[in-house]
Structure 1
């Protein structure tokens, strides 16, 4: 049985091509288009990776090869069969591959099987089965596009060869410039002293090499953005370089993950890989184990000892995956390719919330944005019936109207796409708690407005969400159901925990937190102006609904004080698209002064994004010696030992999460020294980053941990077993003592 080609799915080109078109197609069949090349690479991975893992072959770069497999198989051929639109293919291919991996891993694990190699093999077989139809579809599309380009060039009297030569020259110069800027940036990471970061955050420690590299990349992006004919490769490369420069700086400089929570996730993954199933009674995040289980399977088949190797490069991978869906959303809203690329750069600058670290929410947000991008792109290409009548009938008419199929897509293509999006949504549901709620609300609003043909997609994702919450996340809701209902509807409490409680502590630190708020408010203001200019377009109501839908999450729960940050992140792609409309006029103006103006504006955006992202660097970074101190404790402490602080230093949970524990948490109004003795932990880990947190947020005195250490050593109950510039480890040497009750002597 042969799978349908892209022409069958899309419902186009049902008749035989003309002689000229057929001859061109046969000639182009001898050459590989980009899609065909990518499909063949995916097929090669589908053959090689199962052989590597079943024969346990150790080759250089095995982990990288397996990671490419996870991002390309079987999503690459599937995406090409689902749509001819390149922007959707770039968005869908990794999403379908990842979601398939997550879904199959969770399915096998739920029935009590832990078969990482079998999961990979099944995905490889599916990818190979789709390869032939995908190659046929790719050749057809290549022939059609080349004929169209030849026709347009002949009509305009343009030489394709001459135009291509000029573009290649510009591309070569741009790539060399970007490479030089990255080299300068790497030099900056080598000479920066992150221990000198002040209360103003990372911006206080950056050197001239960083700003020069950032400016060079911005100049390349601006020149590419203002060329009469946009060079997508240069624009994409510039975006990737900006993501690397902004998100990887602290990680490369410390050669350690900038957020220690990533090490906690490494510990979760290690525990699942060892147990072969999810754990209960340990942490609420195990109730949504899709990301952790898939990463555990990945590390197993990749031959990695643990997932630590993913921590540093992950923000770059996550940011790169977002480029295509952000561009697609912006293009649906603005209908301009140039403004869409500008929106991508605004998104990069505005994404300061650091939810792109190695975490379930990073993958879930990518899934969320991919689904929205497909829905919005489909809506833009559909014919949406006008609302008729007056009063209530006119208001209610959008809820019952159904747009036409996008372009010339067939019914089978529409059903196949909706099924693929449901798979992505299901993978998101089992991986994260909050993001599926944002997706369900957004899809429901789009369905209510009658702008999407996928009218029941929100219901499908909602059913999966309800089923998993009821039967898969019982370990969480059995202990938190009361808190969930009590916090529901408390918008003021969510705002206070998400905004008000963060602006406290050191005066300069408070000013930087206020800068974050003002920077976000400025983006919202630019977006509001842009939306007013777009208010008469077809998708303006849908854009407003998507922003409002994310804001409505504030009435749910505070989500540990982070719901406001997540709301801003979920709304940022739509805000960036509208903001691009506001400043897009400057980008389109001819002349040198306009180029300088755009360069200055984009440089200011990127510097502001760097400053906002790095406000908490002094206590969120993970110095290399602090990580080494944690490894020392993890290797030395006997099973059952109590360690403080186990919960606040993520590196201490990178392994042995079921063997080591923190002291029982209880309110303590004594001095820090007395509280430590009351908990009598076996090991005490004092780090400079935690001390910085106590100083900036809680107003602790200078050398706060130094005073605590002196008291501990003077008591004779502890001795130092590790000391480095950023970490000290103390081990208890005497039997545990019980202090008198508070208030007693």
Structure 2
């Protein structure tokens, strides 16, 4: 039973120095998944209207990220800390499975696919309301006030000091806005934007974002910390969007060609055309998305990267909360992943989609010792990942086996179910994979060699040296933090699996010289979860 507290109207007098700070009273509304699903269904309805394509596209993104996931979690309970990533990742998984199934079964009709999903999501909430004798209108009556931990006593500090983190974030975005018009085009330096035009201001903006995060976590202010992460995503990921009219990377256009083929022919390319004919789920999702909203695929690809980074930040934050870390530690972990992720696999590609699904799935597995349903739901996410990307599912299977073998995830048969799905799909499409080679040798040193060869160009060699040094620093720091946690008798085994298991891929596959990049990218989640607590301890 929840007690309802009446809000106070009088402001408390300033607390004298040395006196205890009174607790805060915050408005709270218990989150009901059925209500959230209704919001998602409403967004799906807007996506089917005659509004401008941009509005419909934003509405459909909202539907994907909260509608199907909330509908599933209306009936399946998982830990509250897993909801932050569980809802959007399950939504992405359900939409992926629905669209690729429609394509495989020759039932391709984007408006009907969207309509069916909206009706299913709304029907789920309607049935839940009927069973529980309530309605969506009851949301307004569920608000109440609760006591919360007091903020640190800051009455004796200036306005600037009290809001320093927000001011730093605002300054970072302001400098970024001033820098974007001065960024060069094709005449940019070979050393990158940071060394040409107004590019050095971008480094200043990121430094200010880092300062803002440190100030926020020191003062135990969550909203300013989240704001600093958002500012970092803007500076690091929106720069390319703002400075270009179309997507930048060459491979984006190959992926757009696949989406265009699906939209024109309403079917998958014939077998043997390309390996994407067998791993088409990502392209089916976006062919459906663009046909349902009328948004050009090239526009969707142009704005894809910032959205993916927001989802990565949510999955990292949720995973940190699931393993018991505080909110400010979880925010620090999300920021770490954002600023050290130099791997350019966040563009319009199956890898980016699969990475979000993979991080969300690992969060569900980490929650499964306390919630068996979380582990079972992970199978749904994994099933969506398998027809999306070739490599990521096999790393996730390895992590799942290690977690289940050492009782860090349950039920144990989940790992075997995932392995059966991955191997079964691989066998069905073996002819498409064999020309590329299942294994490229057992030498991890050879497989770790990248496809970026030394060219003799100082700028290119300099860039390679910087990113390699950053990678080594991150991995070694994570290892040192793991030793620090182990010596302080804090749980470290599961986090170590997440951080270092991806290196096992180097014992069998070079992935065309890209394996080492994927290894580092997969390791970021575990590394951040190891580094963030040590960072917070140092700040404190």
Range class of TM-score, shorter chain: 0.7 to 0.9
Question: Which residue of 2 is the match for residue 532 of structure 1?
Answer: 483
Question: Which residue of 2 is the match for residue 436 of structure 1?
Answer: 393
> Contact (CA 8 Å) 2:502, 2:522: kept in 1 or not?
yes
- Summarize deviations over 1:427-449 as a string: whole Å, max 9, x none: 10111110000110000011111
- Shift in Å, 1:60: 6.1
Question: Which residue of 2 is the match for residue 121 of structure 1?
Answer: 115
- Summarize deviations over 1:14-41 as a string: whole Å, max 9, x none: xxx3xxx36679xxxxx983735x9656
> Contact (CA 8 Å) 1:445, 1:546: kept in 2 or not?
no
- Shift in Å, 1:486: 5.4
Distance 1:542 1:339, change over 3 A: same
Question: Which residue of 2 is the match for residue 88 of structure 1?
Answer: 82
SS in 1 for 2:315: helix
Alignment of 1:600-679 (within 5 A): none
- Partners of 1:339 and 1:116 in 2: CA distance: 42
- Partners of 1:112 and 1:267 in 2: CA distance: 20
- Summarize deviations over 1:454-511 as a string: whole Å, max 9, x none: 312222222221222223xx3xx3254264245242433312245xx53443134213
- Partners of 2:176 and 2:483 in 1: CA distance: 39
- Summarize deviations over 1:130-183 as a string: whole Å, max 9, x none: 335489799999999967x43x67xxxx799x999x9x9999875566445324
Question: Which residue of 2 is the match for residue 73 of structure 1?
Answer: 67
Within the candidate set 498, 517, 530, 2:468 is matched to: 517
Question: Which residue of 1 is the match for residue 268 of structure 2?
Answer: 278
Distance 1:126 1:234, change over 3 A: farther
Over aligned residue pairs, what C-alpha RMSD do you find? 3.5
Question: Which residue of 2 is the match for residue 323 of structure 1?
Answer: 313
How many pairs are equivalent?
511
> Contact (CA 8 Å) 1:489, 1:556: kept in 2 or not?
yes
Comparing 92-101 with 59-68, greater Cα deviation is found at 59-68
Question: Which residue of 2 is the match for residue 637 of structure 1?
Answer: none
Q: Tell me if 1:49 matches 2:1.
A: no
- Partners of 1:308 and 1:506 in 2: CA distance: 32
Within the candidate set 29, 34, 50, 1:33 is matched to: 29
Q: Tell me if 1:455 matches 2:412.
A: yes
- Partners of 2:358 and 2:107 in 1: CA distance: 29
- Summarize deviations over 1:535-587 as a string: whole Å, max 9, x none: 25464222223334211111222112111100101011111222234443331
Question: Which residue of 1 is the match for residue 280 of structure 2?
Answer: 289
Distance 1:254 1:323, change over 3 A: same
Within the candidate set 184, 187, 199, 1:193 is matched to: 184
Within the candidate set 216, 224, 240, 1:250 is matched to: 240
Question: Which residue of 2 is the match for residue 505 of structure 1?
Answer: 456
Distance 1:483 1:355, change over 3 A: closer
Distance 1:447 1:557, change over 3 A: same
Question: Which residue of 1 is the match for residue 104 of structure 2?
Answer: 110
SS in 2 for 1:352: coil
* Structure 1 length-normalised TM: 0.62
Q: Tell me if 1:239 matches 2:190.
A: no
Comparing 96-105 with 480-489, greater Cα deviation is found at 480-489
- Summarize deviations over 1:182-230 as a string: whole Å, max 9, x none: 2431221111114343332232124454344334333332221111xx3
Alignment of 1:554-565 (within 5 A): 554-565=506-517
> Contact (CA 8 Å) 2:169, 2:212: kept in 1 or not?
yes
- Summarize deviations over 1:237-296 as a string: whole Å, max 9, x none: 211220121122233212332322112211111101111111133321221100000110
Q: Tell me if 1:568 matches 2:520.
A: yes
Within the candidate set 524, 531, 536, 1:579 is matched to: 531
SS in 1 for 2:511: coil
- Summarize deviations over 1:596-628 as a string: whole Å, max 9, x none: xxxxxxxxxxxxxxxxxxxxxxxxxxxxxxxxx
Distance 1:62 1:142, change over 3 A: closer
> Contact (CA 8 Å) 1:171, 1:234: kept in 2 or not?
no
Q: Which runs of 5+ in 1 are unaligned?
A: 1-16, 26-30, 380-405, 589-745
Question: Which residue of 1 is the match for residue 175 of structure 2?
Answer: 184
SS in 2 for 1:279: coil
Distance 1:231 1:377, change over 3 A: farther
Distance 1:343 1:486, change over 3 A: closer
- Partners of 2:387 and 2:323 in 1: CA distance: 30
- Partners of 1:70 and 1:337 in 2: CA distance: 26
Distance 1:175 1:34, change over 3 A: farther
> Contact (CA 8 Å) 2:317, 2:334: kept in 1 or not?
yes
* Structure 2 length-normalised TM: 0.84
- Shift in Å, 1:321: 0.6
- Shift in Å, 1:76: 2.8
Distance 1:508 1:207, change over 3 A: closer
Alignment of 1:59-458 (within 5 A): 61-79=55-73, 82-83=76-77, 85-131=79-125, 133=128, 149-150=146-147, 178-205=169-196, 206-227=198-219, 230-280=220-270, 281-304=272-295, 306-331=296-321, 335-379=325-369, 406=370, 414-415=372-373, 417-458=374-415
Distance 1:233 1:286, change over 3 A: farther
- Partners of 2:450 and 2:201 in 1: CA distance: 37
Distance 1:512 1:212, change over 3 A: closer
Q: Tell me if 1:484 matches 2:441.
A: no
- Shift in Å, 1:231: 3.0
Q: Which has the larger radius of gyration?
A: 1
Within the candidate set 522, 534, 543, 2:495 is matched to: 543
Distance 1:515 1:59, change over 3 A: closer
Alignment of 1:719-734 (within 5 A): none
> Contact (CA 8 Å) 1:418, 1:457: kept in 2 or not?
yes
- Partners of 1:140 and 1:45 in 2: CA distance: 17
- Partners of 1:49 and 1:171 in 2: CA distance: 41
- Partners of 2:483 and 2:415 in 1: CA distance: 28
